[in-house]
Amino acid sequence: MGDITLYFWPTPNCYKISIMLEELGQDYKIEPIHIGKGAQFAPDYLQKSPNAKVPAIEDRSEIKPKYIFESGAILFYLAEKHNKFLGEKIADKIEVMQWLMFQMGNLGPLLGQAHHFRFYAEEKIEYAIQRYTREASKLYSVLDQQLSKNRYVAGNAYSIADMAIYPWLRPYKMQGQNIADHQNLQRWYALVRSRPAVQRGLSVMNSTVKRSKKKPDGEAWENLFAKNNL
């Protein structure tokens, strides 16, 4: 199955990496980390991902296996290693990295909070719901403005910035947003979604993980949220 093991559960951050590996045409092995059952806290996995998060990868293509955690770092590592989806000129790379950092520092955390307070939180806190829904709207507008000037997020070339951002926008309804309200963003969204490698990356574990629209409770809720606050 190739030199790469992807420690994975179907989340936006994990889909970034499965999409990237599919875009690169890499053979890779999936190692499921069931975050609802607390597998991310297993001592062996913590050696690979000290913050008890997915994804992580193991690269065995070198003499000594390399473990990498944090999805943005994994994307950058794979882009550098294969010299793809990052740009060739330094100015292009900086543009891609800016928007990758935008996703890591803003889009992911704030949309994640919108998810949490609108759907997962045990107590409905109206202030938090409104705050993070407004933050999500602002971020969607930032992207729409950027995409009014470019075919893709970081310019006219598809890059790891697009791979990082797209999975986080898929559950836009949970964030209180509507892609159709942003013409440029909607165009880009359809463009990225139509890529065969993106579709393959999003299909990982589809046949083995049961989807449920119910929010987790009991031990699953504790594993997903409470323990992460320690």
- The strand pairing partners of 52, in sequence order, are none
The token duo for 216 is 């987790």
Look up tokens 């955690």; give the residue. Answer: 69
Closest CA to 175 of 105, 122, 90, 117: 117
- The strand pairing partners of 58, in sequence order, are 5, 67
Please tell me the number of Cα atoms within 13 Å of 169 on its side-chain side. 24
The token duo for 101 is 């950092």
Give the residue extent of every domain in the chain: 4-84+203-218, 90-199
H/E element, 76: helix 71-82
User: pLDDT by residue for the chain (230 residues), tens digit each?
Assistant: 579 999 999 999 999 999 999 999 999 999 999 998 999 999 999 999 999 999 999 999 888 889 999 999 999 999 999 999 999 899 999 999 999 999 999 999 999 999 999 998 989 999 999 999 999 999 999 999 999 999 999 999 999 999 999 999 999 999 999 999 999 999 999 999 999 999 999 999 987 776 666 766 576 657 666 655 44
Look up tokens 């159709």; give the residue. Answer: 180
CATH T-level fold of 4-84+203-218: Glutaredoxin (3.40.30)
pLDDT at 223: 64
pLDDT at 122: 87
Q: Which CATH code is given to the segment(s) 90-199?
A: 1.20.1050.10
Asked if the domains 4-84+203-218 and 90-199 are classified in one and the same CATH topology, the answer is no
